[in-house]
Amino acid sequence: MNYLYAIAAVVLAYLLGSLSFAVIVSRCMGLKDPRSYGSNNPGATNVLRSGNKLAAVATLLLDGLKGWLPVVLVKWFGHDYGLDEGTIAAVGLAAFLGHLYPAFFQFKGGKGVATAAGVLFGVDWLLGLATLATWVIVAYFSRFSSLASLAAAVFAPLYYLFGDRTAWYVDRAILVAIFIISAMLVYRHRENITKLLKGTESRLGGTKKAVK
């Protein structure tokens, strides 16, 4: 493996992940900073509390894109530069950590659900689809976005582990990266877990007053 190219790829992935699109999109659309209302989380769900669905969708897609793009670029072109599956795992994890701890926004980022989904889709579209389906099913029946995210985080590494893995030793680094991402997602939702246990967590589709 070419370590110079690998380090450069990881740094660039982290910097891409550090683009907090919840804040950027909100500024471009003249909305209030999502870190100043609701859950104070710079993510698509909190942007939705502004009452602007377009801004929320744009945030969701862009946050997912920044997780997906570095992974697929290394998959598509990495072998030409001596980059292997270990680099794929590293850039996916770096983009995710960039979202959580963005260099451009005082290292105060979001929970990383959309970016993690982007990483999973980049690794394997079936893995991403299975994890997304888990989120949708749990969210539909429970009406809790946080519970759906926690369920998806728990099942993602299991889907990867028990999928059609014919090259375990090759993919071990990716499995470790997915476990780390899942663990961090659970950690970032610790306040939501407390609210779920207390019965005070807000549900999807609940009445929200638009933030001006």
Residues 97/174/159/102 CA torsion (nearest 10 deg): 10
Confidence (pLDDT) at 187: 96
Q: Taking residues 182-208, what's their average pLDDT?
A: 87
pTM, entire model: 0.91
Q: Taking residues 24-48, what's their average pLDDT?
A: 90
Confidence (pLDDT) at 168: 43
Please determine, for residue 54, whether its predicted confidence score (pLDDT) is greater than 90.
Answer: yes
Please determine, for residue 105, whether its predicted confidence score (pLDDT) is greater than 50.
Answer: yes
Report whether 204 contacts 210 (CB < 8 A). no
Q: Count the Cβ atoms, other than its own, within 10 Å of residue 107.
A: 11
Average pLDDT, the chain: 90
Confidence (pLDDT) at 165: 55
Q: Taking residues 8-16, what's their average pLDDT?
A: 98
CA diameter of the chain: 53
Report whether 162 contacts 198 (CB < 8 A). no
Instruction: Please report which confidence band the pLDDT of residue 1 belongs to, taking 50, 70 and 90 as the band edges.
Output: low
Greater confidence (96 vs 211) lies with 96
pLDDT tens sequence across 110-140: 999 999 999 999 999 999 999 999 999 999 9
Confidence (pLDDT) at 207: 45
Please give the Cα distance from 145 to 22 (Å, whole number).
17
pLDDT tens sequence across 154-174: 999 999 988 765 544 448 899
Confidence (pLDDT) at 45: 87
In degrees, rounded to 5, the angle at the alpha carbon of residue 93 between the alpha carbons of residues 17 and 83 is 105
Confidence (pLDDT) at 203: 85
